[in-house]
Structure 1
């Protein structure tokens, strides 16, 4: 698999990494982000911060949507990386008007191809595709 090439693609991937690390270490996403800034030479793209802040701010609602529409899959039963990718994809799809809906879905699918299991891309595509169809009513 190829690594993301666009600045936004890299920022998206970094946001998934930060959110995943925060969940694994049971720390806030902001602490994980700060640790990356302080303890590594990674440059944190402003869009990475936007994604992390957005996902954290909207996580309750995002998780509710994911739980409601992920037919038969409890959020806790999903692989952690899939859950994080879905949160990032759902945030971009539902709450970031700068990203076209189709791009939000396809970028999440690409992350799942790179970072998760063989079944994950179709699961991510199906669930985010459903949210995309329902977006007008979800945000009404």
Structure 2
């Protein structure tokens, strides 16, 4: 499982956890194909994001202008949470790669408007992360 697929599967798992209140193991099991092995990166994204959700949501709330986190679409929220985790806690990935991957995921799942929204939130979140 390469990193792009890992991010896609992780976003799906986080979405499921938010929507159906599934636990981490259930969500991981449901998004990984029978013939697919979950990568360490995938597991880190899902487990790390779910473990750090309170800190991540605080960063997101400070990055939203005229919005609340509960008003965000579930897909956008899952993607933004995962990408904030990646920007804050994974050091070996350049931030511009994380931003681009998040925008591409948002466009693929939600369209151009989601891409623009995610770009704005992640850019603002990055300012907060750098200021910490």
Using the size of structure 2 for normalisation, the TM-score is 0.90
- 1:36 Cα deviation from its structure 2 partner: 4.8
Query: Over aligned residues, Cα RMSD in angstroms?
Result: 1.8
How do residues 2-81 of structure 1 correspond to structure 2 at under 5 angstroms? 7-36=2-31, 40-81=34-75
How do residues 90-101 of structure 1 correspond to structure 2 at under 5 angstroms? 90-101=84-95
- 2:124 matches 1:134: no
Determine helix, strand or coil for the equivalent of 2:37.
coil
Distance 1:68 1:24 in 2: 23
Determine helix, strand or coil for the equivalent of 2:65.
coil
Using the size of structure 1 for normalisation, the TM-score is 0.85
- RCO greater where, 1 or 2, for CA within 8 Å and sep 6 or more? 2
Give unpaired runs (5+ residues) of structure 1. 1-5
Give unpaired runs (5+ residues) of structure 2. none
Determine helix, strand or coil for the equivalent of 1:97.
coil
Distance 2:34 2:20 in 1: 17
